Chains A and B, each alone.
Chain A
Amino acid sequence: MPDTLQKLKDLLITRLKLKISPDKITHDTTLFGKDSLGLDSIDVLELVVGIRKEFGVEIPDRQVAEKVFTSVGAIVGYIEENR
């Protein structure tokens, strides 16, 4: 799990070019809204592609994405369950 979190942090920062320190990203960090990573819809698609390339895990459609992309911890959980 810690390894998945670290890889996901790297993915978020490098692929989405987030200007944030990895230490600031935790399981509870949200992706949208106030005090979040501030992602937009194109970032989500980028992240879907990145998760598939990095972890070999598919997020097949928007409905699944909406459930998974609630927090960093939720993404880590989905990756762990589906890899």
Chain B
Amino acid sequence: MTGTYPLPATILPHSYPFVLIDKIIDFEEGSRIICLKNVTVNEEFFSGRFRENPVMPGVLIVEAMAQASGLIAAGGKQAAAYLSRINDARFIRPVVPGDRLLIKSSVIQKFHPLYVFEVSAYVDNNIAAEAEITLSMPEQLILNSSY
């Protein structure tokens, strides 16, 4: 399904400065999502990593992947998901200020409350990172319905 989606910041339980998804581009309930993260020079982490050569930390790319995947697991509800496992993470090219990070996540297995996702992050159609991520979504953490 394509169309206009709510801002991730209104669905994710995260707040500033830890919302690492700006926009949902495409979403298929229970199956896949494509999200956008615009990486700007004003990101707080760039002031220290690295001062002369700003590069987005790989752990934050994984966090962005987890947030995008969490939107699938939550099924459109506001819910917290916890990272349970990260497999085969690869960081292929540096992500720098000005990059548009396109995150594509799809469910490869689910036994509620556990979900496994195959996730890739692209900059200008070039793969920047990929990982297999497992999220845990305890029932009681679903907060309310958003979309």
Q: How far is the CA of A48 from the CA of B116 in the complex (A)?
A: 10
How many inter-chain contacts with C-beta < 8 Å in the A-B complex? 28
Which segment, of A1-9, A20-28, A38-46, A70-78, faces chain B? A38-46
Q: List chain B residues, Cβ under 8 A from A49.
A: 108-109, 116, 132
Distance in Å: Cβ of B125 to nearest Cβ of chain A = 26
A44 to B87, CA, bound (A): 14
Which residue of chain B has its CB nearest to the CB of A41?
B114
Chain A minimum-CB-distance residue to B88: A15
CB nearest neighbor in A for B114:
A45
| B residues less than 8 Å from A44 (CB atoms) | 111
Q: Give the Cβ gap from A44 to chain B, nearest Cβ, in Å.
A: 7
B51 interfacial by beta-carbon distance below 8 Å: no
Given contact pairs A48-B109, A49-B108, a sample of 20 additional A-B residue pairs in the complex whose CB atoms are under 8 Å apart: A41-B111, A41-B114, A42-B84, A42-B114, A42-B134, A42-B136, A44-B111, A45-B111, A45-B116, A46-B85, A46-B87, A46-B116, A46-B134, A48-B111, A49-B109, A49-B132, A52-B108, A52-B109, A61-B111, A62-B111
> Which residues on B are within 8 Å of A, measured CB to CB?
84-85, 87, 108-109, 111, 114, 116, 132, 134, 136
- The chain A residues found within 8 Å of chain B, CB to CB, are 41-42, 44-46, 48-49, 52, 61-62, 65
List the 3 closest A-B pairs by CB distance, nearest first.
A62-B111, A45-B114, A49-B109
